[in-house]
Structure 1
Amino acid sequence: MQASHRNRVGVFLGLMGACALGPAQSAYAQSSVTLYGVVDASLLYTNKTLNPANGQSAGHQYSFTDSGLSGSRFGMRGAEDLGGGMRAIFDLESGFSVANGGFDNSNGNLFGRQAWVGVNSRYGTVKAGLQFSPFFLAVYDFDPREMSYFGSGLITYLNNVYVTGMFNPNGISYTSPEIAGLQASALLALGGAAGDFQAGRQYSASLRYHLGSLTVDAALYSGNPGGSAASIPVPSVVEFNGRALGASYVFNNLTVKASYVQYKVAGSFNNRVYSGGASYHITPALNVDAGVWVTRDANESSNNSVLASTGLTYSLSKATLTYGQVGFVTNHGRMHTGLSVNNALNLPTGTTAGASVGIRHTF
């Protein structure tokens, strides 16, 4: 009720200003705030779990799992027309767990997924605050299962660098408009440590080319440890260098994707992930997808894994769908790739199979 009252007052003051200053100022009264979110819950089974003490299996599991397909979250986004084709914009987004109501699917803070303010116009978009990096967005766009929380490239991402690059505190970014099919993005995240500019400093960039049904994207990421982001509940300043190259092509109801992603941590590992897959709309309400992710450590070839999965979703309405997913992962050496972001992010050596069924509602 308070927000509604403020909106009415804002509209009234805007109209008064428009009358006083003339027609050119009328755009200032046009603003909006939208509440949105995802609520996702599932049941998960894996025939093995990881014993962190020895890297072997600790037995199978049946579990209620938060976010089997998409991370549960809620947020507020808004925009105000500033006139001349320019808008002020913001987004505040929080992750939570359906299982216990606590913080989850973010960096552990209240608005740990996104918290930024910016301006966009025909010259591009500038944002300041906690936001996704161009590198992560490129990896997301070319994942054949759209970064499902079960059996997707999100597993390999988190296995390697946790949430670094996903949730970038202290970030300033610019995204250009699309010109002749090309669009560029760049981000600099300041470390927030007085007297040490390099501590926690992160930067990322991407270049995308779009022509009809074809999209190609290349991206990079470089980050340093330390800085103020190192003290948040889930630190997002793993020191790594990332490179990504991906492509997608749409054939009517079929979308095919392939990508290469490198996660290099100096003195530790140099993992290279090769992926490919497709999604197909059987009917407007029924969709099937599948993908394969092969990870190899260039520093030690005995460390490798193969993850494969497929999923089926059925839309009960525009906002609610049910889903089923199955997959397996085979780990060799010191690789511990998992099957599910929640409850099975890391799995033992050998082959593990699993399945997930659930329901997701968006608003």
Structure 2
Amino acid sequence: MSKRNTLRKKLLATGVAATGLMGMASAAHAQSSVTLYGIVDASMLYTSHTMNMATGQNAGHQFSFTDSGMTGSSFGMRGAEDLGGGLRAVFTLESGISVANGAFNNSNGNMFGRQAWVGIDSPYGSMKAGLQYSPFFLSLYDTDPRGMSYFGSGLVSYVNNVYVTGLFNSNSLTYTSPEIAGIQAAGMIALGGSAGDFQAGRQYSASLRYHLGGLTLTGALYNGNSGGSAATTPIPSTVEFVGRTLGATYRFENSLTISASYALYKVAGSFDNSVYSGGFSYFVTPYLDVNAGVWYTRDGNDGANHSLMTSGGVQFFLSKRTTIYGQVGYVNNHGRMDTGLSINNALYEVNGSTVGASLGIRHMF
């Protein structure tokens, strides 16, 4: 705004008419936009077992109201300004919320703990600076058969292994290339923010995506160190781990999509988990989606630690914005594995078999 005011003063000094300035201001305003958006998602959750987080033992079955049964409840603002020559200034501010009690949730615990970035879009790619998702996570999202549902999906496996590290990356800079001959690349570096220690909290990630017709192939990596300023957020996002993933999806013309992927979560001083997954999503009608998936996790350090999670869901679209859904899931844990069924209220589960179900409604605006 200061540059615009300076320009106006100079134009006035040369005798430009006030009506001309008003026309210029109107044109500039017409090329900018700010959009308020959000998701409100609530469900009822049942699980046959529940882990007591203090003892690690079975606390019995549960039946509870659960925030974000399928998609994280959130609200945010996104904006863009046309700068000319194919350039656009863009930004996003997004906060996670809980419909259960109105508190912050589904983020790193801060006001805009999901996304808070500003950037430039151009024909040569996009650059963003601030709190944002990593290419590693976005690659996993691309190939998840259940769209990273908060119940029974690859997101549960992700958060169970490394919590929100790689989801909400503070102090990060990213570049995403345009798609050329079906190939698109992305890279990220997140600075730790600790004076005198560049490695503390430093995170980087990269991905490569190939798209041809209904086929999409993805590969990505993530390396992150502990410490840094992100370790002081209400929910720290600096678990030290190495991540790798390869995945593929194919979308048929009859509304069927099949997916398969491999992910590695090598956590410092802990598990070395390989996750193998596959599944499908099928729109029976434009208003009814049926989907299912299976995730097998094995600890490379100790084969006795392994788990099998499988789940399915049905979504019925009452409108473009409102969906009612039902989900069922089963998980079986062996050794020290503690895979759960739901991001909220059932992230960890006890040894043996657990079944669960979720019934909810989601509205997007």
TM-score (norm 2): 0.93
1:33 aligns with: 34
Query: 1:318: how far off?
Result: 1.1
Q: Whole-Å Cα distance in 2 between the matches of residues 317 and 22 of structure 1?
A: 40
Q: Whole-Å Cα distance in 2 between the matches of residues 196 and 18 of structure 1?
A: 55
Alignment root-mean-square deviation, CA: 2.1
Do residues 201 (structure 1) and 202 (structure 2) align?
yes
One-letter code aligned to 1:165:
G
The answer to whether the Cα contact below 8 Å between 1:256 and 1:278 also exists between their aligned partners in 2 is yes
Q: Whole-Å Cα distance in 2 between the matches of residues 66 and 325 of structure 1?
A: 14
1:241 aligns with: 242
Three-state SS of the structure 2 residue aligned to 1:140 is helix
Match of 1:294 among 290, 293, 296: 296
How many residue pairs match? The answer is 351
Do residues 174 (structure 1) and 175 (structure 2) align?
yes
Please say which of residues 26-35 and 164-173 is displaced more in the overlay: 26-35
One-letter code aligned to 1:264:
K
Q: Whole-Å Cα distance in 2 between the matches of residues 54 and 228 of structure 1?
A: 31
1:189 aligns with: 190
Name structure 1 gaps, 5 residues minimum.
Answer: 1-5
Q: Whole-Å Cα distance in 1 between the matches of residues 99 and 121 of structure 2?
A: 34
Three-state SS of the structure 1 residue aligned to 2:230 is helix
One-letter code aligned to 2:36:
L
Query: What fraction of aligned residue pairs are identical, expressed as a percent?
Result: 68
Q: Whole-Å Cα distance in 1 between the matches of residues 313 and 223 of structure 2?
A: 33
Match of 2:348 among 346, 349, 352: 346
1:199-252 alpha-carbon deviations (Å, 9 max, x no partner): 100000000000111000100000000000000000000000000101000012
**Distance 1:112-1:30 versus aligned 2 partners, 3 A rule:** same
Name structure 2 gaps, 5 residues minimum.
Answer: 9-16
2:14 aligns with: none
1:291-346 alpha-carbon deviations (Å, 9 max, x no partner): 00000000000000000000000011111010000011000000000001000000
TM-score (norm 1): 0.93
Do residues 309 (structure 1) and 304 (structure 2) align?
no
Three-state SS of the structure 1 residue aligned to 2:236 is coil
Match of 1:326 among 317, 323, 328: 328
Q: Whole-Å Cα distance in 1 between the matches of residues 28 and 85 of structure 2?
A: 9
One-letter code aligned to 1:149:
Y
One-letter code aligned to 1:184:
A
Q: Whole-Å Cα distance in 2 between the matches of residues 68 and 44 of structure 1?
A: 8
Structure 1 stretches (4+) deviating beyond 2 angstroms?
Answer: 16-23, 25-29, 51-56
Do residues 251 (structure 1) and 252 (structure 2) align?
yes
Three-state SS of the structure 2 residue aligned to 1:136 is helix
Three-state SS of the structure 2 residue aligned to 1:155 is helix
**Distance 1:67-1:21 versus aligned 2 partners, 3 A rule:** closer
